[in-house]
Amino acid sequence: MLPVSATTPESAALATEELLVQRLRDRDEAAMTIFYDKYSAALYGVIFRIVKKEEIAEDVLQEAMVKIWHSFPSYDAEKGRLFTWVMNVCRNLAIDKIRSRQYRVGSRTQPIEESAALREAAEPTFRPEHIGLQEMTRQLNPEQRQIVDLLYFGGFTQSEVAEELSLPLGTVKTRARAAIKVLSKLIR
């Protein structure tokens, strides 16, 4: 019978991971660099699939690395492998990011450079100077204009405007209604 090698690739990888875990528990910053080099590409991929934007994925990855460093004492190797634990940390942060109000507001509008309107030809009868709605809003009082800007040009809901401006929802609705009345008179 042939002797079985005590160091298979799987056992070597496991020993390396155990050593890395121990160094991270000991707060070894060089181990965090090794950890980042080893796992960051895979973690970035998980995050990117959720947030779908490179810049946001990079931010979430950085936030995840900080969280992993600070919460590493809570990692329990008995409950699962290191990669599984850090992947769940990253996935949860990415989900939290897309559920955040900041992300939702930012994803409502897109930069004009990315807009489909730039790729589509305008109708020959289209005359941009006839639109002028945004210029008309300048004739509103500042309170009404602020609400109209957030509602119609910022993509906010009335509830979000109320929260953003720290106003009661009824006040937002009243000001929006008054602004629409003024604008309808200006359009006629």
The string of pLDDT tens digits covering residues 110-165 is 555 555 555 555 555 554 444 566 677 778 888 888 888 887 767 788 888 898 88
One domain for residues 29 and 97: yes
- Please tell me which residue, 96 or 153, carries the higher pLDDT value: 96
pLDDT band at 173, cuts 50/70/90? very high
The reply to whether 86 and 164 lie within a common domain is no
Q: What is the CATH number of the domain that holds 143?
A: 1.10.10.10
pLDDT of residue 151: 79
Domain boundary at 106, 127, 155, which? Answer: 106
- When pLDDT is averaged across residues 162-169 and rounded to a whole number, the result is 90
Let me know: does 124 contact 76? Beta carbons within 8 Å: no
> Identity (one letter) of the amino acid at 179?
A
Q: Copy the structure tokens of residue 187.
A: 């359009």
pLDDT at residue number 60: 93
Secondary structure string (H, E, C) spanning 89-142: HHHHHHHHHHHCHHHHHHHHCCCHHHCHHHCCCCCCCCCHHHCCHHHHHCCCCH
26 lies in the same domain as 67: yes
Position 171 in a domain: yes
**55 in a structural domain:** yes
Residues 101 and 54 in one domain: yes
What is the reported pLDDT for 129?
Answer: 45
pLDDT at residue number 179 = 86
pTM: 0.51
State the chain's mean pLDDT as an integer: 79
Q: Do 154 and 96 have their domain in common?
A: no
- Residue 66 pLDDT exceeds 90: yes
pLDDT at 114: 56
* pLDDT, position 5: 45
Do 85 and 130 meet the contact criterion of CB atoms below 8 Å apart?
no
State the total domains in the chain.
2
Is the pLDDT at 174 greater than 70? The verdict is yes
pLDDT at 168 over 50: yes
Q: Quick one: 61 and 146 in the same domain? A: no
Q: Is 86 exposed, middle or buried (0-12, 13-18, 19+ CB in 10 A)?
A: buried
**pLDDT of 62 strictly over 90:** yes
Please say if the pLDDT value at position 61 is more than 90.
Answer: yes
Q: What is the mean pLDDT of residues 83-104?
A: 85
Distance set, CA 171 to CA 90, 145, 155, 158, 175 (Å):
40, 14, 18, 10, 6
CATH of the domain at 95: 1.10.1740.10
Domain that holds residue 52: 12-106
Q: Is residue 129 part of a domain?
A: no
